[in-house]
Structure 1
Amino acid sequence: MFTGLVEDLGTVAALDATPDGVRLTVHTRLAGELGPGDSIAVNGVCLTAVDIAPDAFTADVMQETLRRSSLGEAAPGRPV
Structure 2
Amino acid sequence: MFTGIVEEMGGITVMNKSLSGAKLTILASTVMSDLKIGDSVSVNGICLTVVSRSERDFSVEVSPETLSVTTL
Superposed pair shares fold, TM > 0.5: yes
Number of equivalent positions: 71
Structure 2 letter corresponding to 1:14: V
Following the alignment from structure 1 to structure 2, what is the Cα–Cα distance between the partners of residues 9 and 68?
A: 22
Query: What is residue 60 of structure 2 aligned with on the other side?
Result: 59
Q: Larger relative contact order (C-alpha < 8 A, sep ≥ 6)?
A: 1
Query: TM-score w.r.t. structure 1 length?
Result: 0.81
Give me the identity figure in percent.
Answer: 38
Superposed structure 1 runs of 4+ greater than 2 Å apart = none
CA RMSD of aligned residues (A): 1.1
Gaps of 5+ in 1: 72-80
CA positional deviation for 1:19 = 3.1
What is the deviation of 1:70?
A: 1.9
1:16 CA displacement: 1.1
